[in-house]
Chains A and B, each alone.
Chain A
């Protein structure tokens, strides 16, 4: 079990992350999206733990455990419940059709790799080659937020973006200081909780979580 083997596994997990990001772009149902989000969290936690093991950065174990607890267990469970309670597992309509979105996604990946190139050349970490993938995940999640119309899919997109950012921090500098990571995790947790309340309010008022009802406030 030498370092290069670990690196290969980390690269494999990184590729998996990217693949899941694309799968999320093409997923039409909310439940499917939640499952994919949980898998993305799992891949992220596994790769973080592996980086921690192979480089001896022990604080990364905490970060991996946080990801596992929050993004693989707690949040997907919460979203499944929400979907059931609010009965919103219908097709997600997208602003653009799926093939077009995928093509834009590919362009974004190329852009992300170019953007990450100068930074990863400066990085001293063994995992620097995955920085491009992390950037690509961030941009793909952003694309998902733009092209989906349901409130819940936007939130999942937002959380997927957060996953990408965490992965970027791990690959560029072996994560952030532990306090900061805990703080970020706390914010995300509170944010999802606030949104849970918020969804019920939206639902109560509009009878739907479709954002097309929420386009009244505009500059006329």
Chain B
């Protein structure tokens, strides 16, 4: 039952906000709808924790510990981002960058986007998974171009066409999957249900599944931002409004990776070898290394953190590729940590760029002097994402690297070098932004930074102490991934 609320509220919210327009209280309504979604997601989570995996609606929806954890995370970050966007978008409007019509589009698309991601996470049908991934892209194309500047239009175009081509590959992968499944499960709607496929995965034709996985990985991998398919990602993150960057980076990438993982479980069963895992390790490692070296060359602050997202998604993909209980556990933990930390960083960066009036890092200086909360938020977020203990990112990265040392020692030097380069580059660039000298005035508005500290607090807590039930939960999810 809860599942219908989880999916219905964002959809209803999107339609309602489209009709409501940007009248008074639209931002509050947006946050309220997100809060209701979060409440429904929490109820769903509690039920799964109590009852174990469930199937709802004739097998159309399937929720187990793996996806319910992402549902909870998605609903939570969606809510805090809605809270953040309320004052943020008001300031943008006061600066004359947005008008009422665009804010209406923003609020409505935001809810539809969240709804599409939640549908992708909860559906049991690999075809509907594809459809909702594409819907999530379409809902955000016009959000990336919200400012209508030449650069933002170009970014949105790139986002649309590259992800469109990518996702077309995933469609072909899905067709191949259906082709293999239909011989065993018979034609019709049930042959694409993940639970059915999972039941017969040993019988699926290995050569077809192998080909299908390559297409699915390339297709959804484009969305994850895996190198060399990552070209759209920095542009879309840098040119869109900051709340959109936060949800793209914190949520959409996770959902795309979720799609890859669901496919991987099937392929592993059919092939009985490490083909899928090795491919993921390759793509993951390439992304980590490439992103780390590109971070060094960035001058735009949001672009730099976008590359950092590529780096972290690469790490997670690498961890899932290694497989095994510890690495999968680390991958899931890192997904959580990255979502929370990266969205917190984008919130702080958003206000910092509003204050400086530009995203160029050379012009953002001395945050701690004029707006200490923004400065501290950015500094702590940066420290957390760079994997400094005691933040949770350290724990997950530590687990990943120790596993890599045991199982794939050849990869360790690449990983460590990349992490080191990224550390030096990001820290070197953020430090003057926070502590340098500035003549700029204080941001005249009250920034919305409570979400930043809530996120960072959670990351800190999970770094020091993972509650036993949460650890159990991660372990269960890791076991589902074949750990």
Instruction: List chain A positions with a Cβ less than 8 A from chain B.
Output: 57, 118-119, 122-124, 138, 142, 145, 151, 154, 158, 161-162, 165, 168-169, 172-174, 176-180, 183-184, 186-187, 190-191, 194-195, 197-198, 201-202, 204-206, 211, 213-217, 219-220
Other CB < 8 Å A-B pairs besides A122-B207, A216-B151, 10 of them? A165-B168, A169-B175, A173-B182, A173-B187, A180-B130, A194-B160, A198-B141, A198-B142, A202-B157, A214-B158
A59 to B420, CA, bound (A): 56
The answer to whether A214 and B138 touch across the interface, beta carbons within 8 angstroms, is: no
A142 touches B165 (CB 8 A): yes
Chain B 290-348 residues near chain A, CB threshold 8 A: 294, 297
Q: Is there a chain A Cβ closer than 8 Å to B153's Cβ? A: yes
Given A151, A168, A186, A213, which contacts B175 in the complex, CB threshold below 8 Å? A168
Is B189 on the interface with A (CB-CB < 8 A)?
yes
* A214 in contact with B178 (CB, 8 Å): no
Question: Chain B 186-222 against A: per-residue CB contact (8 Å), 1 yes, 0 no?
Answer: 0111011000000000000101100100000000000
- The B134-172 residues at the A interface (CB cut-off 8 A) are 134-135, 138, 141-142, 145, 148-151, 153-158, 160-161, 164-165, 168, 171-172
CB of B157 within 8 A of CB of A214, answer: yes
Question: Per a CB cutoff under 8 Å, which of B157, B171, B187, B192 touches A184?
Answer: B171
Q: How many angstroms from the CA of A170 to the CA of B259 in the assembled complex?
A: 24
Across the interface, do A173 and B141 meet the contact criterion of CB distance under 8 Å? no
CB–CB B138/A184 < 8 A: no
| Given A124-B183, A183-B127, A213-B150: A151 and B157 interface contact (C-beta under 8 Å) | yes
* Interface of B: prevailing SS: helix
Tell me the complex Cα distance, A195–B191, Å.
33
Contacting residues, chain A, for B208 (C-beta < 8 A): 119, 122
Q: How far is the CA of A176 from the CA of B181 in the complex (A)?
A: 11
- Given the complex of chains A and B, what is the CA–CA distance between A202 and B142 in angstroms? 12
Judge if B279 is at the interface, Cβ distance under 8 Å.
no
Is residue B131 contacting chain A, with contact meaning CB distance below 8 A? yes
Known contacts: A138-B172, A190-B135. The answer to whether A158 contacts B128 by CB under 8 A is no
Chain B residue contacts of A211, Cβ below 8 A:
157
CB of B245 within 8 A of chain A? no
- Report the interface size class on chain B: 35 or more
Given A158-B161, A198-B156, A206-B150, does the pair A187, B176 have CB atoms closer than 8 Å? no
Chain A residues with CB below 8 A from B294, complex form: 219
| A176 x B178 contact (CB < 8 A) | yes
Asked whether A197 and B142 contact (CB < 8 A) given A158-B164, A173-B187, the answer is yes
Contacts A119-B211, A178-B189, A213-B150 given; does A183 touch B131 at CB 8 Å: yes
B153 touches A201 (CB 8 A): yes
CB proximity of B205 to chain A, nearest CB, Å: 6
A179 and B189 in contact (CB under 8 A), knowing A122-B205, A194-B138? yes
On whether the beta carbons of A194 and B142 are closer than 8 Å, the reply is yes
The docked-state distance in angstroms from the alpha carbon of A219 to that of B153 is 17
Q: How far is the CA of A197 from the CA of B105 in the complex (A)?
A: 12
- Do residues B189 and A173 form an inter-chain contact, with CB atoms below 8 A? no
A115–B459 Cα distance when bound, in Å, is 47
Contacts A/B (CB < 8 Å), 7 sampled: A119-B211, A124-B183, A165-B168, A183-B127, A204-B148, A217-B235, A220-B297
B residues less than 8 Å from A165 (CB atoms): 168, 171-172, 175
Answer whether A187 and B128 are a contact pair too, CB < 8 Å, given A165-B172, A217-B151.
no
Contacts of A178 in B (CB 8 A): 189
| A-side contacts of B179, CB under 8 Å | 119, 123, 172-173
**A145, chain B: closest CB distance, angstroms:** 7
A205:B164 contact, CB within 8 angstroms: no
Q: Is B125 located at the chain interface by the 8 A CB criterion?
A: yes
Residues on A with C-beta less than 8 A from B192 are 176-177, 180
The 8 closest A-B pairs by CB, nearest first: A180-B127, A183-B131, A214-B154, A177-B189, A187-B134, A173-B179, A169-B175, A217-B235
